[in-house]
Amino acid sequence: MKKLLIAFLIIISTSCKKDEIDLTYPGTARLAVVVSGITWAPVNAGYTTERPNGLLYQWGRMYGQEYISTDTIPGPVALSVGNNSSNSSNFFTVQATPFNWCTTSFTLWDMTSYNPCPEGWRVPTTTELAVLNAAGSTWLYSPTDNPDGLPGRWFGGNHGTDHVGSVFLPATGFRNVSKGAATIRGTMGDYWSSEASGIYSSSLFFTSSGANMASDYRAGGLPVRCVRK
């Protein structure tokens, strides 16, 4: 019995240590957050301490761009062109419906070839974003109440109090489809899902007034908050 107990404790200890390692998000010392059984990254894709909002991604592209940049190229272009490293800093503008930066239309963001998230992570599904939204949220009025001092919303458990069990999404703003112009950072957040239908891709949209599921043209530049595979 004593040997069985020791073995059981070793298994538990090993499992806990493994979870601690796995929950550290690549590129930061911050831990991921589990909300309603889904493990969320603590920062946006493309995050650095100098770029706390992360990068903005056109739907289906593995490379994100800065919020303010003059590197714009007329689109649409082929999928392979948009995901070529030589175009990593370029934002493809489009002037007409369906407002897709890509010449082909597909319904799922390719997580095998064009995943913007670190290894072991991926873009969330529409359902996963909806579950996060359903967990409740609170707009952050005080920029001192999150690690990077940014406005945005806390989603998940205790979102309105000590934020234990909640994840913070900054109000990153977006880049528009026709010019790639930077728009309303600090007052709005709109986060991509990995799924599309028709000419739109689904997203989680929020302002200080509330949060809801939405849809956007694929040529728009939006942030990505990765989830664990």
Pinpoint the alpha helices (H) of the chain. Answer: 2-22, 79-82, 126-134
Q: How far is it, in rounded angstroms, from Cα 136 to Cα 161?
A: 12
Mean pLDDT of 100-122: 97
Q: What share of the chain is helix, strand, coil (3-state, %, to 5)?
A: 15, 30, 50
The DSSP line for 169-214 is EE---EE-TTT--EE-TTT-EEEEEEEEETTEEEEEEEETTEEEEE
- Has residue 21 got a pLDDT over 60? no
Mean pLDDT of 169-191: 96
Q: How far is it, in rounded angstroms, from Cα 203 to Cα 20?
A: 30
Between these two residues, 15 and 221, which has the higher pLDDT value?
221
Mean pLDDT of 71-92: 97
Mean pLDDT of 51-73: 97
For residue 156, the cross-strand partners are: 166
The per-residue pLDDT for 5 is: 40
The per-residue pLDDT for 22 is: 57
- Has residue 157 got a pLDDT over 70? yes
| Percent of all residues in the chain with a pLDDT value above 90, rounded to a whole number | 82
The per-residue pLDDT for 147 is: 85
Mean pLDDT of 81-88: 97
The per-residue pLDDT for 9 is: 37
- What are the φ and ψ backbone dihedral angles of 195, each rounded to 5 degrees? -120, 150
Instruction: Give the SS3 label for residue 72.
Output: strand
Q: How far is it, in rounded angstroms, from Cα 75 to Cα 93?
A: 5
- What are the φ and ψ backbone dihedral angles of 227, each rounded to 5 degrees? -120, 160
- Has residue 149 got a pLDDT over 70? yes
**Which pLDDT band, with edges at 50, 70 and 90, does 23 fall under?**
confident
Between these two residues, 73 and 12, which has the higher pLDDT value?
73
Mean pLDDT of 20-26: 68
**Which pLDDT band, with edges at 50, 70 and 90, does 141 fall under?**
confident
Between these two residues, 93 and 9, which has the higher pLDDT value?
93
Judge contact between 223 and 192, C-beta under 8 A.
yes
Domain ranges of the chain: 26-228
Q: For residue 210, give the amino acid letter.
A: G
Judge contact between 183 and 91, C-beta under 8 A.
no
